[in-house]
Structure 1
Amino acid sequence: MPNKPNHWGYKMFVLVGENPQYGFCTDIVLDLSETVPRLMNHKIYFDNYCTNIRLQVELKRLGIYAVGTVRSNRLPDLVMKTKQELTREGRGAMDYRIAEVDGVELCATRWYGNNVVNRLSTLHGCDNTDLAKRWSSK
């Protein structure tokens, strides 16, 4: 991993489910969240390794809110501004879409700072954005 402070090492992800139902990452997160109480407004945050639409839909059905960064290829059929369009608009540019999947409302946001970041959420909506001052070396 050339961009990490420790360039060398091993990473092992070993969790095996007995009956795969939704896919590797979704099944693992659902198994790990079995102890989270249902319908009590608990929230789970995760990175783009696990985030996908099916996982967020299944967690919401269990009464658990979810927020995570998401890879662009895990948002199929969702037309949003491209990286080039957001870059042209400048730092702080964003685009969002609200989608309903199996009766669950999802908010997908694409934001441009130093790079493009995608977020998928069943907790936070897409409206009410605020301006924020960010530090820049310029």
Structure 2
Amino acid sequence: MGSVAPRDPNYSLYFDNWFCSVDLQVVLKKVGINSVGTVREARLKGCKLPSDKELKDKGRGPYLAMATTFEGVNLRAVKWFDNSHVSVLSSFASAPPEQLVKRFDKKTPTTVNVSRPAIGAVYNESMGGVYLMDMLVALYRI
């Protein structure tokens, strides 16, 4: 898919943790394609993010962002905790600014405000269609 994408700094690819890795993001950025995706922490090449328990103990909304340059490409990894942990890797988006989003709290059946890093908003905004397509392909296999 990336081979037919235009080489434009305003063009971005989004993917889930099945495909995302440091190496893939470096290759894409070198050919002019921005990318962001959820990532398995084992694929972060030595980047030590906090444990799930450390973030969970702080409640909903905390995150840790780390930045590095790998083979001349600036990358950012963010681990965020809402209901569960989410690790995101990007070659263009970063954590600040934080945004407040409404989430349902099971303990007190009300909505609460939870802070979310900007990279989470960028990812969620674009991945909705991908998840819908995955679901439809699974339902209507030919």
TM-score (norm 1): 0.73
Aligned partner of 1:59 in structure 2 is 28
Aligned partner of 2:49 in structure 1 is 80
Stretches of structure 2 that go unaligned for 5 or more consecutive residues are 109-142
Aligned partner of 1:93 in structure 2 is 62
Residue by residue over 1:101-136, the C-alpha shift from the partner in whole angstroms, topping out at 9 and shown as x without a partner, is 011111100011111110001121232222222222
The answer to which structure has the higher strand fraction is 2
Residues in 1 aligned to 2:2 and 2:43: alpha-carbon distance in whole angstroms: 21
1:116 correspondence with 2:76: no
- Which is greater in Rg? 1
**DSSP-derived class of the 1:78 partner:** coil
Measure how far apart 1:86 and its partner are.
Answer: 0.2
Stretches of structure 1 that go unaligned for 5 or more consecutive residues are 1-31
Calculate the aligned-residue CA RMSD, in Å: 1.2
Residue by residue over 1:76-116, the C-alpha shift from the partner in whole angstroms, topping out at 9 and shown as x without a partner, is 21122111110110111111100110111111000111111
**DSSP-derived class of the 2:64 partner:** strand
More displaced, 71-80 or 43-52? 71-80
Counterpart pick for 2:72 among 103, 106, 109: 103
Residues in 1 aligned to 2:92 and 2:54: alpha-carbon distance in whole angstroms: 27
**DSSP-derived class of the 2:94 partner:** coil
Identity %: 36
State the aligned residue count. 107
TM-score (norm 2): 0.71
Aligned partner of 1:23 in structure 2 is none
| 1:15-34 → structure 2 map (5 Å cutoff) | 32-34=1-3
Aligned partner of 2:114 in structure 1 is none
Counterpart pick for 2:37 among 68, 80, 104: 68
Measure how far apart 1:40 and its partner are.
Answer: 4.3
* Contact 1:57–1:104, Cα closer than 8 Å, also in 2: yes
